[in-house]
Structure 1
Amino acid sequence: MPSRLGGRPSGAVRIRTPDGEPLTTTLLDQLRRLHLAAGEPSRSQLKKDADLGGHHVGRSTLDEALTKPGASWPTVAALVDACVRHARRSGRPLTAEQRDPAQWRSLYEAGRRTSTSAVRLIGLIPPAATHFQSRPVAEAGVRVLSGLGGVGKTQLAAAHARARLAAGDLVIWADASSRDAIVSRWADAGEQLSRATPADPERAAQRFLSWLATASRPWLIVLDDLADPRDLRGLQPPAGTAAGQILITTRLRDTAAVEHGEPVEIGVFTEAEAGGYLRAALPGRLADDVAGVSADLGRLPVAMAQAAAYMTDLDISCTEYRRRFADRRRRMDDLFPAEDRVPGDYRWTVPVTWSLSIEAADRSSPAGLARPLLEMAGVLDSGGIPADVFTAEPARTWFSYTGPTESGAPQWRERGADEIRDGLRRLHLFSLVTFEDGLVRVHDLVQRAVRDRTDPDRLDAVAWAAGDALLAAWPYDEGARAQSFRASAAALDRHTGGSLWTGDEYHAVLTVAGRSLGEAGQVAAAAEHFRELHALSAERLGADHPYTLAALGNRTIWQGETGDHASTTTARELVDARRRVFGDDHPDTLTARHTLARQHMRDGDFDSAAAELESILRTRTAILGPAHPDTLTAWHNLATCRGENDPAAAADEFENVLAKTREVLGDDHPDTLSSRHELARWRSAAENPEQAAAEFEALLADRIRVLGPDHPQTLSTRSELIHATTRSGRETDPAGRFAALLDDQLRILGPDHPETLRTRLNLVDAGRGEPEEVLDDLIRVVGPAHPMTAQAAFLRALIRDPEDLMLSVPEGLWQAMLRVLGPDDPWTAGQGELVAAIREHRSRE
């Protein structure tokens, strides 16, 4: 029946209680009163009644709908249906309004309108450029603003967004330079507008897109700097809605980007716009030939901005600028070829303008620093280079060589960190970089102009120095900042090609970037990185070169982290190769054997692993001595391996390992702390959780003191402490403790780190969260073969269908693989065949 509540602006409604008293309250209060009126059925009973009604909602989700605001409509509908069924069965009276789904839907929609209507801006609209020249942008539909970088696409979109925001519309601004960036913005919007769960960005993004499709309030979405149209697959905002408009800015032309809407080519300034810009940007006494400068620069906005900065800083007129410009063009036309994507008669203007600006910046204080700074910036990530890369010791050394003198020898002038930051600010002044918030951003065209202008031999040296600087500044705690370093390492490899290779090595930044991927939880990406590095090294350096074998070793490790059993075969190949090249007792051979033992452990072959580790321990003890860190590492891993069959024996063994490690390395060494962690873990597994909990508590205090509260190993100790206190019976709220840990892991490690996913799995085990969501993410991040994926499939089956785990475990895993990998993936096909075989076996019984 029609709701009499839909128009209430406050989100409150009027539903009568069974005694006839009208009550105005919120959705959460109404749900709690319904639950009370129905006889307060248990969470298990609610789950059974919801299942009878055909609702697929978890018990923990129903529980949260009674304890927290923000439940989704399917959850509200399931809870109401379950309460009504229980009340009917138990003979408890409910009012007609309490039984009416339409009334509840109206209440839900009213609350949702109230909470989301206050949101007007999501994301940051770039500030207006100085002397911005307005140009018209279509007011409706989907428009793709394309054109050369620097023509003002982003500024046009920003001006339109500010106008829509001033009119009271909802504006969402998204960086579209990568799929990750788009997902992150959509997830943020989903959290604010549709109460999506922030811990699951992909699902939150999809929930936001569904919200957009039905939104009635006017909205504008700006997707700025779309780098690859494929990044929008599955993330395209709904087109054709009456309320919405979409603006996409991109540098791409004649590509699939135009499929997302009506293409709008953004060209250079018109003569009037160009003239207006220069007259506004220049003091009147310098603007004596604005039309001539505009013509010389081809009215390209980015070139005009640099030229205006150059003329203002040097206090020269348009006439003098044109004289210098013409002279520089005659000398540079052949030396500085244009980029193919620069159209028309102004194809040379960006490099010419760069040359004028950089020379002016180079002459200003700090003199001689602007050019080498831009050279290094030109080979790193244009989207944001951490400023401490430029002030790292290898970079300072590079910048201190100011270039060859007349005699041909490099001239040394020591550069300090403050002087380098001053140089970056000078480049910012000349519009050559943007230097703010600790990041240096460079326009792609400026980067390309710098690289093209640099002598190839010098570019090789710049690339190597940039790699050294990245290594020196790299944040090895692998927090959120590491992503910007990985992006710069990838750009360095992409821009400089073979510059990171010599005849006998590749730069260590290629190794560190791959390991950083793995440490950030992107284990599949790390395995692929090292697979490619190994293949390239075999081609360039030879199959048996030490660097090639090092890449193979890293490939083996990260392949194993994905749960791929083929890593054991790869590990055997590594051992055979190192034995052939280095001999049986070489440290690299022993390390390879250690890697093989770890793969045996991952495969569950603990006997083979123990035999290998025992042999390694004997050899390392004989060659290195019992106190060497490598010997202690072998002993540590052997004790862990033995613990899989005898936890008590492992605890006893770790007491000896810890005593020796503490004697050799000291109390606060990371290896000592690691041995304490393992000792407590095996005590807990050996049915001594009380002592384990006490040891974990002491260890946590020491790891916070030595490593800090945000170190990944500190977070790991927190997790084990929760397990130990739960086993000992001391823990009263394990789910709450795991939820607090998850918040910190999401902030520090990110949503895709294996330890973050492990905590989400622990929360499912503790009765919170949906197993399907965790299972989907595990398949996506670590792969279907990983042990955690199998554990998630088992938990899902245990919750959904505990009576027939033999079928429901593989069937649930198969359904998740269909969702994540698709029907054509080989893993999906294999799991589907297994499910079919079990079903056929069941039919014959």
Structure 2
Amino acid sequence: MTWPHQVGVLPREADCFQDRATARELSHGADGNGTAAPHHVVVGLGGVGKTQLAAHHARTLWQTEQLDLLVWVTAASRDAVVTGYAQAAAEILGADPAGPESAARSFLAWLEPKPANERRWLVVLDDLADPADLRNLWPPASNHGRTLVTTRRRDAALTGHGRRVVPMGLFTEDEAAAYLTTSLAAHDRHEPADQLLGLADDLGHLPLALSQAVAYLTDVDLDCATYRRRLCDRARSLSDALPDPSGLPDDQATTVAAAWSLSIESADRLPPAGLARPMLQLASMLDPNGIPIAVLTSPPALDHLARHRSAGPEHTGAGEITAPDATQALRALHRLSLIDHTPDSPHHTVRVHQLLQRAIRDRLPAGRHDQLARAAADALIAAWPEVERDTALAQALRASTEALTLHAEDALYQPDTHPALIRTGLSLGEAGQVAAARHHMQHVANTTRHRLSADHPDTLTARSHLGSWQGATGDAAGAATAFEELLADLERVLGPDHPATLVSRGKLAYWRGEAGDAAGAATAFEELLADRVRVLGPDHPDTLITRGNLAFLRGEAGDAAGAATAFEELLADRVRVLGPDHPDTLCTRGNLASWRGKAGDAAGAARAFEELLADLERVLGPDHADTLCARGNLASWHGEAGDAAGAATAFEELLTDLERVLGPDHPATLSTRGNLAYWRGEAGGGSGAATAFEELLADLERVLGPDHPDTLGTRNDPAYWRGRRRWRLITNRIRSVISGE
């Protein structure tokens, strides 16, 4: 026997192989500390480069003469492992390969540490398909040898007993850019850096996909920008933008589109059998960066799993699908590295690579694709809370709706406009992103009109939401015009007493008032109130909304005490009809406190807002738009009551939270900067206030435009009045839109 000796053939090193952090982690583990080196189990999604990493590590040790024996085994099955061990035993020990089990045991015994055997060895078990295949076949722990396993499996059976799990992920941005640059340069191709970074993002930094993309655009002779357009063309499948099997680079055996088929089949066989595939199909429609667990365990999701459970004798006898069954299906997918399932992150519980999602969607028949899209939208709506107390959950739900719309927009408008599209617009507005809400509803309204008809109820509903957000962005006159046109169509299509028609009358009156016609708005609301009492009754929520708008206009006309009295009477009825914690009830408390303050009781208004704020934080959460507005009102009334320094401090703290929750360019954030500047000035910092208002004006012109009411108000009106008034209007507008007015 001649040493050193190699058993098995290492895969050739990929062109432009990238040395990655995981490789350095393996090398560090090889150095050890004088004790037995652990087994290393490299785990990751198919296509991240586990085999190449193992081959590079083994080749490095071999070429630097750190090994006496290198054994490479493709561990696709137990028989493959036994055969590989038997071959090693035949070459090293002269064992009879005709008895593979016996020869394999002889090889493992030879690996056991012995004083007479200090050969340095490395056994690589590549692409282990099932941890059970290594039962009684793990090489022993040894000071002179190491085992390296690569696998997509993340089972607990692979841990412990000196086994160190090494997760392997995607290329970093720098690694992906370096790989693409080097690989293309090898073909005398040079592309702009921004296009390469964009391509890396398009392919999710997956090494296998990047290598195949380079081969494709080289063979087809496309520049990077053209290739990216082809890749993003939803009319094409992923296979249409990658090489066929005959053109795969680096001796690869499968395309990206087919890379995960065996893993999906394996996951589908794990308990609860037959649920992993339909669960992965559902997840393929949603945000790859994080899907809330509430979506995937909702009743519509469970119904989808029950209707599409994979067929097969091993799946018979299954009863009703439960939320624990759905969670177990997620764990099965996680065990095969097809998803990342993190139960301690409820809003981003499931992450799926974007190319795996696309490969799943590509295999769906057209009818099945649309059915799945509607099921995913149903699951989103089922998980969407009526009150968005948790802003992170709301953001995650909006992100998944956006992803779903990108993949399957046609399905969301057939046979009607799915409620998830409307809910997304409302959610954006509730989060304070009024410009985004307006843009979203403009798209929904245009698409619904085109796909369904101008007079379809969904089109009329979308137009109503659009008008509200148009006004909320500062275009009160435009909103009034939009509702005037909508009202005429609603009366023609639905009739004058239809609830939607009455709502539109209320919105028209409201935005006329905001556009400056307070008297006309008051008259319209009085007429509407009479009709709502007649059609809906005195206790209907919409009737109560109209009373609130009348009370508000009364105060705007100069009768602050009368407005306070009207809101006090309204509050009693809302508590009786809706309950003390209903958002409309809480809004009425805020209006009552504000008008009492305007009637002369600033200290009382501050106390009322302190009590209201505690209830808003309990009911809606600390980051809800109404809660943040109440904090602004509280700060203002503290200032009006004489505590200018305290008001400035409160606005400073509020500004930090608004920038975190809504962003620096949100109207409420900009308004708070004005309030902060004003109260700092009132507290003695006049020059600083002037500078702050100059900076604010520049940002208002940049964000909202020179003719926006807030910009004009900052330029021409006293700063303190604009700041205070803005907070009241934000609160009223948010609540009026939520309530349908």
TM range (shorter): 0.5 to 0.7
Query: 1:310 is matched with which residue?
Result: 129
Partner of 1:672: 585
Residue from 533, 536, 542 that aligns with 1:621: 533
Aligned ranges 1:289-368 → 2 under 5 Å: 308=127, 310=129, 339-343=239-243, 345=246, 349-368=255-274
Specify the alignment match of 1:806 in structure 2: none
Secondary structure (helix, strand or coil) at the match of 1:563 reads coil
Q: Cα deviation per residue 1:129-183 (whole Å; 9 max; x = unaligned)?
A: xx9999898xxxxxxxxxxxxxx98x848889999xxxxxxxxxxxxxxxxxxxx
1:641 aligns with 2:641: no
Aligned length: 519
Structure 1 residues 772 and 160: alpha-carbon distance in aligned structure 2, compared to 1, 3 A threshold:
farther
1:638 alignment partner AA: L
Amino acid at match of 1:339: S
Q: How much has 1:307 moved relative to structure 2?
A: 9.1
* CA deviation after TM superposition for structure 1 residue 507, in Å: 0.9
Q: Tell me if the contact between 1:361 and 1:427 (Cα under 8 Å) persists in the aligned partners.
A: yes
Which residue of structure 2 lines up, in the alignment, with residue 452 of structure 1? 362
| 771 and 132 in structure 1: CA distance in 2 versus 1, 3 angstrom threshold | farther
Matched, 1:372 2:278: yes
Aligned to 2:335: 429
Q: Does 1:681 align with 2:594?
A: yes
> Does residue 546 of the first structure (1) align with residue 468 of the second (2)?
no
User: Which runs of no fewer than 5 residues in structure 1 stay unpaired?
Assistant: 1-130, 138-151, 164-250, 252-265, 291-304, 322-335, 800-845
> How far has the Cα of 1:685 moved from its partner?
1.9
User: Within 1, Cα distance between the matches of 2:54 and 2:25?
Assistant: 25
Q: CA deviation at 1:497?
A: 3.1
2:377 is matched with 467
Code of the aligned partner of 1:762: N
Query: Residues 453 and 730 (structure 1 numbering): CA distance in 2 closer, same or farther, change over 3 Å?
Result: same
- Secondary structure of 2:129 counterpart: helix
| Shift in Å, 1:273 | 4.8
Greater CA drift, 379-388 or 764-773: 764-773
Q: Which residue of 1 aligns with 2:626?
A: 713
Task: Point out which structure has higher relative CO (alpha carbons under 8 A, 6+ apart).
Answer: 2
Report the counterpart of residue 561 of structure 1 in structure 2.
Answer: 472
**Which residue does 2:710 correspond to in 1?**
788
Are residue 727 (structure 1) and residue 640 (structure 2) matched?
yes
User: SS of the counterpart of 2:239?
Assistant: coil
Name the counterpart of 2:324: 418
Distance change (3 Å), C-alpha of 1:465 and 1:274: farther
Secondary structure, counterpart of 2:409 in structure 1: helix
| AA partner of residue 241 (structure 2) | R
Structure 1 residues 626, 132: CA separation in 2 closer, same or farther (over 3 Å shift)? farther
Q: Is the 8 A contact 2:431 2:624 kept in 1?
A: no
C-alpha distance after superposition, 1:108-144 (max 9, x if no partner): xxxxxxxxxxxxxxxxxxxxxxx9999898xxxxxxx
CA distance in 1, matches of 2:404, 2:516: 40
Aligned pairs for 1:507-656 within 5 A: 507-564=418-475, 565-646=477-558, 647-656=560-569
Amino acid at match of 2:597: S
| Residue 575 of structure 1, CA deviation | 0.8
**1:747 & 1:669 partners in 2: Cα distance?**
26
Q: Is the 8 A contact 1:403 1:410 kept in 2?
A: no
Q: CA RMSD in A?
A: 4.1
Question: 1:750 and 1:387 mapped to 2: Cα distance?
Answer: 26
- 344-353 or 426-435: bigger deviation: 344-353
Cα–Cα, structure 1 residues 644 and 360, in superposed 2: closer, same or farther, change >3 Å?
same
Residue 477 of structure 1 is matched in structure 2 by 389
Query: Structure 2 regions of 5+ residues with no counterpart?
Result: 1-9, 28-46, 61-70, 86-123, 138-150, 152-235, 249-253, 681-688, 721-741
TM-score by length of 1: 0.55
Change (3 A) 1:379 1:410: farther
1:695 aligns with 2:608: yes
Q: CA deviation at 1:567?
A: 2.1
Distance 1:692-1:162 versus aligned 2 partners, 3 A rule: farther
8 Å Cα contact 1:400-1:412 kept in structure 2: no
* Counterparts of 1:276 and 1:461, CA distance in 2: 50
> Secondary structure at the residue paired with 2:392?
coil
- 2:612 counterpart SS class: helix
Alpha-carbon distance in 1 for matches of 2:486, 2:316: 44
| Identity rate, percent | 41
Is the 1:560–1:599 contact (alpha carbons within 8 Å) kept by the matching residues of 2?
A: yes
Q: Provide the C-alpha distance between the structure 2 equivalents of 1:652 and 1:444, rounded to a whole number of angstroms.
A: 57
Q: In structure 2, do the counterparts of structure 1 residues 798 and 477 end up closer, same or farther at CA, with 3 Å as the change threshold?
A: closer
Q: Deviations over 1:468-501 (max 9, x none)?
A: 1111223523613322222211111111231212
Please say if residues 644 and 679 of structure 2, whose CA atoms lie closer than 8 Å, have aligned partners that are also in contact: no
The residue type equivalent to 2:349 in the other structure is L
Listed one character per residue, the Cα deviations across residues 247-296 of structure 1 (whole Å, up to 9, x for unaligned) are xxxx9xxxxxxxxxxxxxx9996996599799488499746699xxxxxx
CA deviations on 1:611-658 (whole Å, 9 max, x unpaired) are: 211111110011112121110100001111221121232122222222
Matching residue's letter, 1:445: L
Instruction: Say if 2:480 and 2:512, in contact at 8 Å, map to a contact too.
Output: yes
Q: Aligned partners of 2:321, 2:543: CA distance in 1, in Å? A: 44
Distance 1:549 1:611, change over 3 A: same
TM-score between the two structures when normalised by the length of structure 2: 0.62
Q: Are residues 547 and 719 of structure 1, via their aligned partners in 2, closer, same or farther at CA, if it must alter by over 3 Å? A: same
How many angstroms does 1:556 deviate by? 0.6
**Residues 334-364 of structure 1: CA deviation (Å, up to 9, x unaligned):** xx97622223536653343322111111011
Residues 1:688 and 1:372: Cα distance change in structure 2 (over 3 Å): same
1:372/1:682 CA distance change after superposition, 3 Å: same
Q: What SS does the aligned partner of 1:339 have?
A: helix
Partner Cα distance (1:717, 1:337) in 2: 50
Conserved 8 A contact 2:635-2:646? no
Instruction: Output the amino acid matched with 2:242.
Output: V
Letter in 1 for 2:468: I
Shift of 1:693: 2.3
Contact 1:404–1:411 (8 Å) recurs in 2: no
User: For 1:308, what is the secondary structure of its paired residue?
Assistant: strand
1:740 paired residue among 653, 659, 680: 653
Rounded Cα–Cα distance in structure 1 between residues aligned with 2:444 and 2:578:
35
Q: Which moved more, 1:271-280 or 1:508-517?
A: 271-280
Distance 1:631 1:161, change over 3 A: farther
Equivalent AA in structure 2 for residue 770 of structure 1 = A
Give the CA deviation at 1:537. Answer: 0.8
- 1:754 counterpart residue number: 667
C-alpha separation in 1, matches of 2:50 and 2:312: 44
- 2:231 paired residue number: none
> What SS class does the counterpart of residue 411 from structure 2 fall into?
helix
SS in 1 for 2:341: strand
Q: Distance in 2 between matches of 1:270 and 1:721?
A: 59
1:457 positional shift: 2.0
- 577 and 620 in structure 1: CA distance in 2 versus 1, 3 angstrom threshold: same
Structure 1 distance, partners of 2:675, 2:548, is: 26
- 1:389 is aligned to 295
2:676 pairs with 1:763:
yes
In structure 1, what is the equivalent of residue 402 of structure 2? Answer: 490
CA distance in 2, matches of 1:686, 1:648: 5
Q: How does 1:789-804 map to 2 (within 5 A)?
A: 789-794=711-716
